[in-house]
């Protein structure tokens, strides 16, 4: 649901989690620090799919007790993964690392069909934390194959979501397309029935260019009924477009293997603003603020709000920070948990 763009100014003090505190910073210490206007993007951070995936692991630990195995990082954020490890989750890359009889959770990015099939063969008790919006793409892939259409899948090679989606169909039934240049190299006959789908965490602008190229080259290609790029990805990129033009520097909190976080950095850079990806506040160097009067701040969909507040607290040690939260959309999406955890 879209909301009018507005900003909420606050003045920050370190270590008091003062997101809504409008009390002025007084005293000589504050007076000695230069000012910094902080533009915080909203929406930012956790999306409904990430919330659901983390809750699935936590509830599994409550139900089964530790250890609970998780195939691949549940979401791409080291802070989140380490927190779940501390509670008893064990992260593995393949099912053959899971002992017989142990519960296992599949990550939010989705898995090939062969993974739950193998879990069933072994009699493992498994929970699927695949984001429902990724599962929707999986179902679309199945329908396109049933309609005898070859699928052109727009995504990033090697990303877990791409591996999982391509694993929904037989080899040779889906072709990966990463760039407009890839479209130019496609060589399908005019009579070939084609469709396209996309990874959910791509750049909205880049994907639009690839889709345009596909439709130009293959006028009869079948598009998905609805946008595959998820609402959270689109909303966070739109929010960065609001803060980046007014910022001297944009910081994006996220992991280097987080597709949606990397896209946020790219969006800011394309607005002509210097942008950096950080995982935690302790990666920020004070020298980055040289010549910076206005700083933009956001977080990828796998980064918790706690990490945003860490950054604000650190900046407040160096500068007198005035926060402005720029709200470009309001998110109310909630996804249901697997039935095994609610019955």
Residues that are catalytic = 161
What pLDDT tens digit does each residue of the chain (343 aa) get? 333 345 555 544 333 333 333 333 434 455 689 999 999 999 999 999 999 999 999 999 999 999 999 999 999 999 999 999 999 999 999 999 999 999 999 999 999 999 999 999 999 999 999 999 999 999 999 999 999 999 999 999 999 999 999 999 999 999 999 999 999 999 999 899 999 999 999 999 999 999 999 999 999 999 998 888 999 999 999 999 999 999 999 999 999 999 999 999 999 999 999 999 999 999 999 999 999 999 999 999 999 999 999 999 999 999 999 999 999 999 999 999 999 998 8
Q: What are phi and psi of 229, to 5 degrees?
A: -60, 125
What are the strands of the beta sheet with 174-177, ordered from one edge? 174-177, 150-154, 194-198
Name the DSSP letter for residue 116. H
What is the reported pLDDT for 194? 98
CB atoms within 10 A of CB 300: 31
- Confidence (pLDDT) at 4: 39
Q: Round to whole Å and give the CA distance between 176 and 194.
A: 13
Asked if 46 contacts 258 with a C-beta cutoff of 8 angstroms, the reply is: no
Task: Name the phi and psi angles at 126, rounded to 5.
Answer: -120, 155
164 CB contacts (<8 Å, ≥6 apart)? 109, 110, 111, 112, 130, 134, 138
| pLDDT score for 225 | 86
Distance CA 232, CA 158 (A): 22
Query: What's the pTM?
Result: 0.89
Beta bridge partners of 250: 275, 296
At residue 7, the pLDDT reads: 54
CA 264 to chain centre: 10
Contact 72, 24 (CB under 8 A): no
State residue 30's pLDDT score: 56
Instruction: Report how many helices (DSSP H) and strands (DSSP E) the chain contains, helices first.
Output: 11, 13
DSSP state of 193: -
Integer Cα distance of 133 and 297 in angstroms: 26
Give dist(CA 127, CA 116) in Å, integer.
9
């Amino acid at each position: 649901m879209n909301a009018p763009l507005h900003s909420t100014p606050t003045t920050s003090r370190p270590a008091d989690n003062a997101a809504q505190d409008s009390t002025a910073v007084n005293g000589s210490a504050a007076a000695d620090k230069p000012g910094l206007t902080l533009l915080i993007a909203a929406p930012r951070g956790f999306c409904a799919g990430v919330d659901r995936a983390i809750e699935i692991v936590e509830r599994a630990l409550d139900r089964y007790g530790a250890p609970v195995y998780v195939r691949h990082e549940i979401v791409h954020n080291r802070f989140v993964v380490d927190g779940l490890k501390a509670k008893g989750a064990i992260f593995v890359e393949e099912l053959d690392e899971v002992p017989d009889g142990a519960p296992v959770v599949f990550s939010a990015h989705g898995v090939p069909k062969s993974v739950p099939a193998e879990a069933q063969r072994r009699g493992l008790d498994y929970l699927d934390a695949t984001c429902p919006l990724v599962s929707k793409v999986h179902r679309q892939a199945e329908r396109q194959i049933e309609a005898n259409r070859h699928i052109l899948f727009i995504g990033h090679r090697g990303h877990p979501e791409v591996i999982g989606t391509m694993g929904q169909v037989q080899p040779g039934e889906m072709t990966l397309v990463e760039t407009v240049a890839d479209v130019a190299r496609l060589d399908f006959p005019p009579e070939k029935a084609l469709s396209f789908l996309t990874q959910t965490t791509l750049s909205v602008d880049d994907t639009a260019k690839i889709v345009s190229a596909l439709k130009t080259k293959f006028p009869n290609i079948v598009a998905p009924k609805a946008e595959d790029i998820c609402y959270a990805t689109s909303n966070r990129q739109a929010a960065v477009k609001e803060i980046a033009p007014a910022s001297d520097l944009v910081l994006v909190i996220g992991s280097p293997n987080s597709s949606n976080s990397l896209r946020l950095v790219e969006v800011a850079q394309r607005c002509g603003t210097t942008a950096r990806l950080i995982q935690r506040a302790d990666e920020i160097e004070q020298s980055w603020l040289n010549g910076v009067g206005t700083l933009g701040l956001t977080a990828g969909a796998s980064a918790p709000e706690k990490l945003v507040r860490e950054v604000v607290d650190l900046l407040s040690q160096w500068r007198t920070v005035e926060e402005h939260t720029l709200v470009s959309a309001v998110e109310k999406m909630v996804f249901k948990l697997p039935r095994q955890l609610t019955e």
